[in-house]
Structure 1
């Protein structure tokens, strides 16, 4: 993830991976749309995971096409970062 973000000039503020989804807090300039960012992240991570774990090659895709994006607006960056980091401890 860090390599992808550096290539796109995106700051990866927080990242937490769950069994069936991932929470990311990214700081990006409006150079790329959220759809472009997610397509790049999903494409590169799928390729790398398939290279590292060949048994995944039989799957038609690793990621769904869906994702949720929101702007920070009136919520502080620290609040969002804390939310993402707390996802690993919930439930």
Structure 2
């Protein structure tokens, strides 16, 4: 996870913890839906060269630890994952259509992960002139 990556313009190490839930927090991520959801997430992340460090589902939410290019943006990656998984899962599992108007809520949680605390980074930035 501490691997430094790069594209044509940016050298980065951006790891994100993302959590999102089905609409009304319904416990629908079980059995075959769970298996297929993880496949879809892996496909989208592979297409976007966003390595998955960890993925786990509960019946009513998803946890994803992923590396994402800052120029592509974590918001775009999450939008693509949620959009494709909603469309495919609702087509493949009709019971999801009858129970939910949409598969996912509009919102999600995202946090960056890193080895240094905010206090350490702040101290580093503030003391650049003294180096």
Bigger share in strand? 2
Contact 2:56–2:63 at 8 Å: present in 1 too? Answer: yes
Which consecutive unaligned segments of at least 5 residues does structure 2 have? Answer: 1-40, 117-131
C-alpha separation in 2, matches of 1:51 and 1:31: 32
> Could you list the runs of 4 or more consecutive aligned residues of structure 1 that deviate by over 3 angstroms after TM superposition?
none
Instruction: State the Cα deviation string for residues 5-63 of structure 1 (Å, max 9, x = none).
Output: 01111101100001111110001111222221111110011111112101222432110
| TM-score (norm. length: structure 2) | 0.53
What's 2:122 paired with? none
C-alpha separation in 2, matches of 1:51 and 1:42: 14
Q: How many residues align?
A: 75
Which consecutive unaligned segments of at least 5 residues does structure 1 have? Answer: 76-91
| TM-score (norm. length: structure 1) | 0.74
What's 2:7 paired with? none
CA RMSD for the aligned pairs?
1.4
